[in-house]
Structure 1
Amino acid sequence: MTSTLISSPHVPRVNRVDRVMLQVLLALMPGVLAMIWFFGWGVLVNVILAVGFAVLAEALVLLLRRRPVLPALGDLSAVVTAVLFAISIPPTLPWWMTLLGMLFAIVLVKQLYGGLGYNPFNPAMAAYVFLLVSYPVAMTNWLAPELLSGIDLSFSDSLAMILHQVLPAGVDWDAVTAATPLDEMRTQLDEQLTIAEIRDQSALWGVFGGRGWEWISAAFLLGGLYLLWRRTITWHIPVSMLAGLLSLATLFWLIDPQTHPFPAFHLFSGAAILGAFFIATDPVTATTTRRGQLIYGACIGATVFVIRTWGGYPDAVAFAVLLMNIAAPTIDYYTQPRVFGHGRERAR
């Protein structure tokens, strides 16, 4: 009787970087398509520009460093960074700001530290915060969803707005732009209005969050569940982040529902779901231990609520992620699992 001996490792497939990044890009597609549907072709233009600038910047830096270009570009990490950045910025952002953001993300945040695997901060979020701090007006000047503005901008119209800041004839900026739901809610609360008064005076609101934004968040949730199903990510960071955000939101809503919106508002009005499944789970800048990931995610969620409620920036996901990127090595250090076979030494 003969048998075939199969040696280790017994791994069904190779978990390569390019495959992981491709899964992330596929999971992002429902949310990207939803953003294009509600905010127009400017989202697609931003994605195209950001990907082009990111790939070009990475290729130039690799050439200057005398490193192989094609293998680094083939891992698709620059493309993922570009797409995450592009869907975080307003659909009318001037093209040169997108260029600045990609240069900052790829050259300074990623390659300056040694490339993929060495960057301590999430490149896309670092670039977003860099532009938000430097150009706050442009970075908060969002398009109103087309279902509210009633203006259907063609691809050429969106391209002209981004490249030349030129609007179609007979259309002004006030007609196509609006505050985000988080920004509008924060501004109106600062003016001492109640939640009920805020929701009654504007058509911006849907069931839980902003109209259009609810469907976009749901689409990103669908993509996040796909990543969990494919085991591209684990549940620890997304669940703990959303739980940290919802727990504080629920507590303050129960204390005073007239000055704190319903907890679901925090999930379906900004980048909370996008951040939980696609940004906070970045394997390079996040924690690696299971206990550490629970702490890391919960702290991000709590920080998002604190900044949204009392800080100066209405969304806060990018700031919360970058702050916890700093803490990730320390969290990993104190949450290392005990090595099997090593018990506590007996006191002599």
Structure 2
Amino acid sequence: MTVDRELVVTTSPHIRSDISVNRVMIDVLVALAPATAAGIYFFGFRSAVVLAVAVISAVVTEAAIQRVAKWEVAVGDYSACVTGLLLGMNLPPGVPLWIVAIGSAFAIAIAKLAFGGLGKNIFNPALAGRVMLLAAWPVAMTKGWLKPEWWRQADFSFWSWNVADRFGISVDVISSATPLVKGGAQADAFTLMDLFIGRVGGCIGETSALALLIGAAYLIYRRHIYWQLPACFVATVGVLVWFFGGTGGYFTGNFLMHIFAGGLILGAFFMATDMVTSPMTIRGQIIMGIGCGLLTFLVRLKGGPPEGVSYSILIMNALTPLIDRYTVPRRFGEGVA
């Protein structure tokens, strides 16, 4: 009697889903499109080049390492594109392009592939790349800030390229890194609508809360992220700033400014929610969101840097295995003598 091997199946469970890594990454790129377009509009063609260099460097680095290591070349899953784009969106528009390329290479080679590749990395690669650049080239990473729509001024155009060489002609194009500088003292120069639309200085992809929220709504609709983590992240920052962040006593802090300024919206919805580096359960994601919010508040109000989103997410990434250990339900019968 012969056995029909085609009828032999593996043990349950048998999961059937049309969701693939490729599909998820394409949806993330679609969700980032509004913020990408807003950043290019406000900061000009130079910002588009920064984003392109970040993406190309990430893809080339991943393909080269995988080919040398004789691994399957998996750039077709678009995860390297997402990493490169997120890194570029976290950089100032006037940053030197060679720094952009090094940051992307570090994000892919060290923060992702050195841990075993997609699904095995502990830290968000894009944030790891950004923090490395801040540590290695702090001066270059804290210069090159441009005012929104600077290219509308005389002697400039949307296609202006080497803006830094022309700062001596028109210093009005220079902006601070973020309205959060000096504890938010520069927020008086902007209205809440400016902050919401993105008409403020900052990193390429972080300034337009409106564009970011549109993309976040798409990811939630597609069920690629859950709302609990980013909501707890943003709410924790808002409540703590409202209670402790004012100069006139308790409950006087400008929480809306802290929510819409800086990289909070970008970090909360697009980086803290990374499937690989965030907790597996809703309860764990709530814990991570609150932890990220607390750390961001402490860095913004009590620390040296004006922004703490990147550091807070990376710290909570390191704590994710511990959070999962105590929040993932045990299997039935596990631990029973």
TM-score where L is the length of structure 2:
0.85
Counterpart in 2 of 1:166? Answer: 165
Greater shift in the superposed pair: 178-187 or 226-235:
178-187
Match of 1:28 among 32, 50, 61: 32
Per-residue deviation, 1:171: 2.6
Distance 1:330 1:152, change over 3 A: farther
User: Do structure 1's residue 85 and structure 2's residue 87 form an aligned pair?
Assistant: yes
Would you say the 8 A contact 2:42–2:149 is kept in 1? Answer: yes
Are the counterparts in 2 of residues 21 and 76 from structure 1 also a CA contact under 8 Å?
A: yes
Matched, 1:179 2:186: no
CA distance in 2, matches of 1:206, 1:255: 19
How far 1:185 sits from its partner (Å)?
4.1
Asked if the contact 2:280/2:324 (under 8 Å) is kept, the reply is yes
- Cα deviations by residue, 1:26-46 (Å, 9 ceiling, x for unpaired): 001111111112111222111
Q: Map of 1:83-162 to 2, 5 A cutoff?
A: 83-141=85-143, 142-146=145-149, 150=153, 153-154=156-157, 156-158=159-161, 160-161=162-163
The answer to whether the 8 Å contact 1:209/1:268 transfers is no
The separation in 1 between residues aligned to 2:40 and 2:248, in whole angstroms, is 36
Matched-pair identity in %:
38
* Runs of 5+ consecutive residues of structure 2 not aligned to the other structure: 1-11, 201-205
1:59 aligns with one of 59, 63, 66: 63
The answer for the alignment partner of 2:191 in structure 1 is 206
8 Å contact from structure 1 (residues 40, 153) kept in 2: no
Matched with 2:223 is 231
Amino acid at match of 2:33: M
Shift of 1:120: 0.8
Deviates more, 1:124-133 or 1:207-216: 207-216
CA distance in 2, matches of 1:55, 1:24: 16
Equivalent residue, structure 1, for 2:287:
295
Distance in 2 (alpha carbons) for counterparts of 1:83 and 1:260: 37
Work out the CA distance in 2 between the residues paired with 1:187 and 1:262: 9
Aligned to 2:20: 16
SS of 2:98's partner is helix
**Deviation for aligned residue 1:182:** 3.4
- 1:16 and 1:322 map into 2 onto residues whose CA distance is 26
Structure 2: distance between partners of 1:151 and 1:116: 47
In structure 2, the residue matched to 1:195 is none
Cα distance, 1:209 vs structure 2:
6.4
Residues 113-122 or 254-263, more deviating: 254-263
1:154 is displaced (CA, Å) by: 3.7
Q: Which amino acid aligns with 2:160?
A: D
Q: Flag the 1:269–1:225 CA change in 2: closer, same or farther, 3 A.
A: same
Deviation of 1:345 (Å): 5.9
Aligned counterparts of 2:108 and 2:13: Cα–Cα separation in 1: 38
